[in-house]
Chains A and B, each alone.
Chain A
C-alpha cells in the first residue's frame, strides 16, 4: 500500500508537471498556428544543401525562375492527331476546346511576313546576323551576298524588305531568326510533323491549372481524355497526347484509391486487433490521444525552430507513428498486469521506455546538424514527437487509473505463451541462427551488386500508356536531347546581354550537332543593336555598299540608332514568341521578408529566359561553365530531383552509421559488452537483411528503402532494449508482437502500392519487421527454465498451458 501511496504522490506531481508543459506546448502550437510566420514548403529542390549565403541566395533566385518555368510547363498539353480525317478532327477539337473554361488552344498564329518586316522597319539598321557582320569587311563579299540572295528562286524576306532595307541585312536577320525559332512546318496554319510516313497535326493546349488543385486537374484531364476518345471514334484518327496534367490526375486518383482502400483496411485491422486483444475501446482512444499529442509536439518544435515545414518531413516522419504505437502497446500490456504483485504497471517499463527513447533520440540528434534542412527537420520532429509520447505514456496514463480497465484476453495470453516457447527454442539456437544469417548476409553482399537507384521515376505511378505517350511525343517533336538553360536578371537588357554571352560560349565550343534556339535571334540586346548600327555606319563610310546599291539602281543611307527594347518587341507581331522564351516572375527573398511591404513591388519582379539546346547533350566543359555562372542554370528537373535523392541517400547512410555507433555505446554501457554487441548484431542483421531481401526482390534499392530502414532501426532499438531489460517475458513478447503486427499492417500494406517508391518502402518494412520480430528476442540474456507455477503467479492465474515456459531471470 505504501508503495502505491508513494506512487500516487509521484503520479500527482508528475501529472502537474506534465499538464504544465502540455499547456505550454499547446499554447505555443496555438500561437504558431494563429500568428506564426512559418510556411509549408513543397519544392524538393529547396531542400538541397547550399554552400554559402551568397550562393544560397543566387540558388534561390534561379530556383524561383525555374519554378515559374516549370509552372508554365505544367500547364502545357500537346495533342498530335494523325489519320485521314486528321484536319477535320483538329478543327473539331479546336472548336470544342473553346467551350471548355480554363482550357485554351495555344496554337500560335503564324505572323504575316509583311507585318514582321513593317515592325522592324524603324530598327532595320540595328540588326544583323553574325554571318552578315563577317561580310562587312570587304565590298565584294557584300555584293556577292546580295546577288546570291536576289537570285534565289523565292525568298519572301528579300521580296518584302528589299525596298526598305536594300543591304538585305534585315532580310537575312529575319529569315535566319524565324527559321531558327519556327522549326515546324505548318499546313493550313496547323503545325504538322512527319513521322514514319504519317502526318501528325499538333495542337498545343494551355490548361489553367495550378499545381496544387488536384480536383481541378482531374476534371480537366477527364474532360480532355473524353474528347480525344470521341475524336478517335468519330473521325477514325489516332490522338496522341502528353502533358504533366494527365500524370498528376492519374497519380492523384491512384493515391486517393490507395489511401481509401489500404488506409481504411489497415486502420480497421489495427483497431480490430487492439479491440480483440484488450476487449475495450479505451486502448484505441488512448493510442490516438498519445499519437495526436506526439504529432503536436513534433510539428510545434519544427515550425518553432525552422519557420517552415517541408511536406517531405511529414513523409519521413511516419516512422513516429510506428514507435509511438510501440510505446502504447508496452503501456497497455503492462497496465493489464498492474494488479500483480510482481510490480506491473507503467513503472515496470519506465527504464526500458526511457532507454529506448534516449537511444533513438541520440541517433536522430546526429541529424540536427545536417546541412540538409529536411533531415534536421525530421530529427527535430522525431525527437520532440517521441518526447511528447514518452511523457504522455509515463505521466498521464498512470494517472488515468487504467489498472484493471485494460486486460488482455486470456486466449491471447495462450498464443503469446506458445510464441514465447517457440522464441525461447530459437533463442537456444541463437549462435547458429546469427552465424548462418550473418554468413548469408555477407555472402549475398559479396555476390550480388547492391545498386542504388535515385531515379525520379520512382515517384511516378503513371500508367504505362501515359509514359509511352510522353516518349512518342518527345520523339515526334524532337525533344529527346533537348536541354533548357535558364538565365535570370534584374532587368531585360542585362538578361539579353547575358544570353548573348551564353550564346557566344555555345558557339565557341563548336560542339558538333548542337542546335541552339533562342529569342536572341530576333531580339538582340540594345548594346548589340548599337554595335550593329555602328558597324553599318562604318561600312557605309568606307563605301562598302556603294557598288552593290549602284548595280541595283538604289540609293539609301544608314539610319540613326533606334533601340528595339523588350517592351517594344512585346507590342509587335512576334510577341507570342517572346512570351514563350522570356518570362517575368516574382522574386521572394527570404532574407528580406520582414522588410516593410510598402517596398516598391516592381523591385521584386525579375526577368528570366531560356535557351534551348538540342541535337546532342552539352559537353562537360559547357556544363561546368554554365554551373559556374551564378545567374545561369541548366533546367533539368528530373536530374536535379535525382541528385537531391542521392544527397539524402548519402545523408541517411551517414545517419545509420551514427545511429549504430550510439546504439552500440548505449547497449554496451547498459547491458555489458557481450549483450550489447548481440543486440547490435540483431539490429544490424535485421536492417541489412531487409535491404538485401528488397534488393533481391526488386533488383535495386532506393532512398525509400533506406527510409524504411529508419523505421526498422527505430523499432529494432526499442525491441532489443525491451528484451534486454525484461527478457523473454510474456508481457514484452505480447507488446512487441502487437507492435510488430500493427507496423506490418500500417506500413507493410504499402507494398501493394502502384507507386514504386511507396511499394519499395512497404516491402522493406515488411521484411524488416519480420526479421526484427524474429531476431530481437535472440539478443535477450541467457534464459533459464521457470516452472509453470512461477509463470502462473506472474500471470495471476490466467489460462496458461502446462508447458514449462522459459523466461529470462
Chain B
C-alpha cells in the first residue's frame, strides 16, 4: 500500500551503482552471493532533488494480462515525494511531513493513516540510517529477473517481520547507476514490476512544490 510505495521510492531514489552481476537463474531467485549488501547500500549517494518517469506492470495470477500504468515521480528530500500515475487513470500519492496522502481521479484526497510497520524504516532510510534497514530486512545481492546481459546488480530484501512477510515475500532492486528496476513479489503469487528513470534536477516544478 502507501507505505510500500514510500519504501520503494526511497530505496530507488537513494540508489547507487551496483556492481555488475551475471545472474541467470530467473525462477529460483537463488541468492548468488552475500557480498556485504549493506556496504553496497551504504555507498548510496542520495539524490537530493530529482524527477523522472515510471512504468508499472502488475501481474495478477487471476488475470491473463498485466495491468500497465505509467506516470511521473518527483522527489525533494527536504519536502517529500509525489508519485503521480497518469495512465490509465489519474491518481497521486504524496508523501510529505504531515503524512501520506492519496488523491484519486476525482481529486478526492485521503490521508492514509495506517502507515504499515515499515514506515519507521522508511524514515531511517530517508535520514541515511541504513542500519535500520537491516533490522527489518535480510539483504542479499541476487538476481531474480534480470537477464545476464543487462549488466546489472540486484539486491534482494526479505522482510524479517512476520507480519510483513505474510503479504510480501521479497523486494528486488536492480540498477546500474541508480535503481531503475524493482519488483515486488507478494506471497499471493501476484507481482509488481516497476521501471524507473530518474534524473537529478535543481528544483522541482512549482506546481509540484505547492503540493508538498
Interface of A toward B, CB cutoff 8 Å: 110, 112-114, 144-145, 147-148, 150-156, 159-160, 162-163, 166, 175, 178-179, 182-189, 192, 194, 199, 552-554
Inside 8 A of B163's CB, which chain A residues have their CB?
110, 186, 188-189
Contact partner, B89, options A151, A186, A188, Cβ 8 Å: A151
A184 to chain B: closest CB distance in Å? 8
Establish whether residues A183 and B113, one from each chain, have CB atoms under 8 Å apart when the complex forms. yes
Establish whether residues A159 and B60, one from each chain, have CB atoms under 8 Å apart when the complex forms. yes
A114 to B113, CA, bound (A): 22
Contact A194 to B69, CB < 8 A, known contacts A163-B61, A179-B114: no
For B5, the closest partner residue in chain A by CB is A153
Inside 8 A of A144's CB, which chain B residues have their CB?
89, 105-106
Establish whether residues A154 and B184, one from each chain, have CB atoms under 8 Å apart when the complex forms. yes
Inside 8 A of A162's CB, which chain B residues have their CB?
60, 62-63
Contact partner, A154, options B106, B162, B168, Cβ 8 Å: B168
Inside 8 A of B117's CB, which chain A residues have their CB?
185-188, 192
For B58, the closest partner residue in chain A by CB is A150
Inside 8 A of A114's CB, which chain B residues have their CB?
166, 188
Establish whether residues B162 and A188, one from each chain, have CB atoms under 8 Å apart when the complex forms. yes
Apart from the given pairs A114-B188, A153-B4, A154-B192, 10 other A-B contacts in the complex at a CB distance below 8 Å: A144-B105, A148-B91, A150-B67, A153-B5, A155-B1, A166-B62, A178-B114, A186-B163, A553-B63, A554-B63
Point out which of A110, A153, A184 has the most chain B C-beta atoms below 10 A from its C-beta: A153
B88 to chain A: closest CB distance in Å? 5
* Interface check B85, CB cutoff 8 A: yes
Question: Interface size (B, Cβ < 8 Å)?
Answer: 44
* Interface check B150, CB cutoff 8 A: no
For A197, the closest partner residue in chain B by CB is B123
Contact partner, B162, options A145, A179, A189, A192, Cβ 8 Å: A189
Establish whether residues B69 and A151, one from each chain, have CB atoms under 8 Å apart when the complex forms. yes
Inside 8 A of A156's CB, which chain B residues have their CB?
1, 167, 186, 188
Establish whether residues A148 and B89, one from each chain, have CB atoms under 8 Å apart when the complex forms. yes
Establish whether residues A552 and B4, one from each chain, have CB atoms under 8 Å apart when the complex forms. no
* Interface check B120, CB cutoff 8 A: yes
A655 to B102, CA, bound (A): 62
Interface pairs (24), CB distance under 8 Å: A110-B163, A113-B167, A114-B166, A145-B104, A147-B88, A148-B89, A151-B69, A151-B91, A152-B1, A153-B8, A153-B56, A154-B5, A160-B188, A162-B60, A166-B62, A178-B114, A179-B114, A185-B116, A185-B120, A188-B162, A199-B120, A552-B63, A553-B63, A554-B63
For B121, the closest partner residue in chain A by CB is A187
Inside 8 A of A155's CB, which chain B residues have their CB?
1
* Interface check B190, CB cutoff 8 A: yes
B171-212 vs A, CB cutoff 8 Å, 1 = contact: the mask equals: 000000000000010101010101000000000000000000
Inside 8 A of B136's CB, which chain A residues have their CB?
187
Give residues 127-169 of B contacting A (CB, 8 Å).
136, 160-163, 166-168
For A175, the closest partner residue in chain B by CB is B1
A192 to B89, CA, bound (A): 35
Please list the 9 inter-chain residue pairs (A to B) with the smallest Cβ-Cβ separation, ordered nearest first: A151-B69, A147-B89, A163-B62, A156-B167, A154-B4, A150-B67, A159-B190, A179-B114, A153-B5
B98 to chain A: closest CB distance in Å? 13
A640 to chain B: closest CB distance in Å? 30
Establish whether residues A151 and B105, one from each chain, have CB atoms under 8 Å apart when the complex forms. no
B2 to chain A: closest CB distance in Å? 8
A591 to B212, CA, bound (A): 63
A153 to B190, CA, bound (A): 11
Establish whether residues B89 and A185, one from each chain, have CB atoms under 8 Å apart when the complex forms. no
A156 to B2, CA, bound (A): 11
Inside 8 A of A194's CB, which chain B residues have their CB?
120
B11 to chain A: closest CB distance in Å? 12
Contact A185 to B114, CB < 8 A, known contacts A152-B1, A156-B1, A554-B62: yes
A152 to B88, CA, bound (A): 11
Point out which of B4, B117, B162 has the most chain A C-beta atoms below 10 A from its C-beta: B117
Establish whether residues B120 and A192, one from each chain, have CB atoms under 8 Å apart when the complex forms. yes
Inside 8 A of A185's CB, which chain B residues have their CB?
114-117, 119-120
Inside 8 A of B5's CB, which chain A residues have their CB?
153-154
For B83, the closest partner residue in chain A by CB is A153
B38 to chain A: closest CB distance in Å? 19
Contact A553 to B64, CB < 8 A, known contacts A182-B114, A183-B113: yes
